[in-house]
Amino acid sequence: MKKLFVLPALALGLLVGTQNVLANETSTSNMIVKVEQDKYIDLAVENLPQEVLDAIVRDFKGATISAAAATKDASEFKLELSKEDGESVEVYYDADGNLIKKGDE
């Protein structure tokens, strides 16, 4: 008779325990995405430092800046460039106009 009570209790315990683990995994992955999205804040192109604008002209002749974003402390800038051939590229610069990386690297 005791076995009849132990089996349902065990099944219920496994069910509840599994749901808790799945909920924690989902919450953690959403939090990581949120942090990554908050790293950069949208910025108007005319608010970019002159050093960054000069670097774009120097490094990507003929390209136009279609979107810009900056870190909260304005130490790094993420730029979406449209090249003359219609290709789009994402680049990262520091505040002094040094290329940090190209998006496809």
Based on the domain organization, do 45 and 94 belong to the same domain? Answer: yes
Calculate the average pLDDT of the chain: 77
CA distances to 26, 43, 45, 70, 102 from 49, rounded to whole Å, are 39, 11, 9, 11, 19
Based on the domain organization, do 52 and 73 belong to the same domain? Answer: yes
Buried-exposed string 8-36: b where 16+ CB fall within 10 A, e elsewhere: eeeeeeeeeeeeeeeeeeeeeeeeeeeee
Based on the domain organization, do 76 and 64 belong to the same domain? Answer: yes
pLDDT in tens, 49-78: 999 999 999 999 999 999 999 999 999 999
Residue type, 36: E
Based on the domain organization, do 15 and 50 belong to the same domain? Answer: no
Which domain does 16 fall in, by range? 1-38
11, containing H or E segment: helix 2-37
